[in-house]
Amino acid sequence: MLTGRNILLGISGGIAAYKTPQLVRLLKKSGAGVQVLATASALKFVSELSLATVSNHPVLTGIFPSHEAREDEYTRHIALGEWADAFVIAPATANTLARLATGLCDDMLSLCFLTLRPGKPVLIVPAMDGHMYDSPSVQRNLATLRAQGCRLMEPESGSLASGQCGLGRMPEPETIFEALTGMLAAPEASALCGKSVVVTAGPTREKIDGVRFLSNYSSGKMGFAIAANAARRGARVHLVTGPVNLPTPSGVERIDVESAVEMLEAAQPLFGECDLFIGAAAVADYRPEAPVEGKIKKNEAEMEIRLVRNPDILAEFATNRKLGQLAVGFALETAGGIDYARKKLADKKLDLVAFNVYDGRTSGFEVDTNALTLLARDGGVTELPLLPKEEAAARLLDAVESLLPR
């Protein structure tokens, strides 16, 4: 899969560094050339000899060779920036993130980060204690790197070196390898490559009291499939999701919310910079007007709950978007309803609507397949057969790409 590709692998000083020889093996087995760049701290957690053996290259650490060197060895950081097709940094510690975000270059890892040629993908895999990861300083540095075009993999939850259990674990080498191959396989001709995409997914929960809520059966699978496919095409993807039990797709920035109001608050700051907004979430139309903080006690009298309208997130974006931004929505009906989908397309000023029918078995919520009819603003209609949601997402994005300027 990676035959002829050259990969720089940066390793910084976290306990997860012990996993990196396996990542090198996967890259080499796939046909890639690998040059390891390790910080001095990284080599306290993983053997330099192991890394050199599996990569078939000496491990580079300091800027200056420790021996009498040829002239070209003093400028090898320039050559490596041209040689590499991609740069993976795993694990990326808080210290390394800070140095990369501020442009410091006091070792080969940070120096090659600066010399990598523009347009070549960078995959950063943070791994540290969960409290460190959530700290404002680390989040600020992650935001800086993300804004520079770096792709970030979210750490996983599990047992940590501290003995605690929580967020901060580095994903397994196989997961990192899959993310990298997906990035490198992104079609260069894709109109989504380099674009900013926002996808909403899943249900919303509208609080009745402290233990009850109104919601729906959305699993989030369709929205997550769209986000994953957009990322594989080279897009920078923000996924704003309601409560679902799904892993974050590789290369996708995930924001978890509960209610429709929270979803709007999370998505709104992204409106101005995105090229494409896809509203795949099943946002509740109504919410209780006055939710109760505690638990409502049962009594003999009947209970009435007054509902008020929720904000329309997709319409909010479509109405206020700038020239060139695209808006895509979904219209779900239990039977028929394609005229409703056309009305939604017109009323919300959308560029495309994906109409699907909920039958409880093969299409709609909580299933792995969907049958979509794509309605475009110019009157075009594309009927797709029943497909796995991953393939349906790809076909949807094919249609969206035809609307994007290249």
313 is in an annotated binding site: yes
Q: What's the token pair of residue 323?
A: 């020239």
**Residue 310 annotated to the active site:** no
Residue 315, burial from CB neighbour count under 10 angstroms (0-12, 13-18, 19+):
middle
Residue 314: beta bridge partners?
none
176 is in an annotated binding site: no
Residue 124's contacts (CB-CB under 8 Å, 6 or more residues apart) are 89, 90, 92, 97, 100, 145, 150, 151, 152, 153
330 is in an annotated binding site: yes
Residue 376, SS3 per DSSP: strand
Selected catalytic residue, list 6, 95, 141, 216: 216
348 is in an annotated binding site: yes
Nearest in space to 57 (alpha carbons), one of 31, 28, 18, 96: 28
* DSSP letters spanning 251-264: TEEEEE--SHHHHH
Taking the C-alpha atoms of residue 373 and residue 330, their distance in angstroms, rounded to an integer, is 10
78 is in an annotated binding site: no
Residue 386's contacts (CB-CB under 8 Å, 6 or more residues apart) are 362, 363, 369, 370, 371
Q: Please report which helix (H) or strand (E) contains residue 224, including its range.
A: helix 221-232
Q: Which residues are annotated as a binding site for CTP?
A: 285, 295, 311-314, 330, 344, 348
Residues with catalytic annotation?
A: 216
Q: Which residues are annotated as a binding site?
A: 285, 295, 311-314, 330, 344, 348
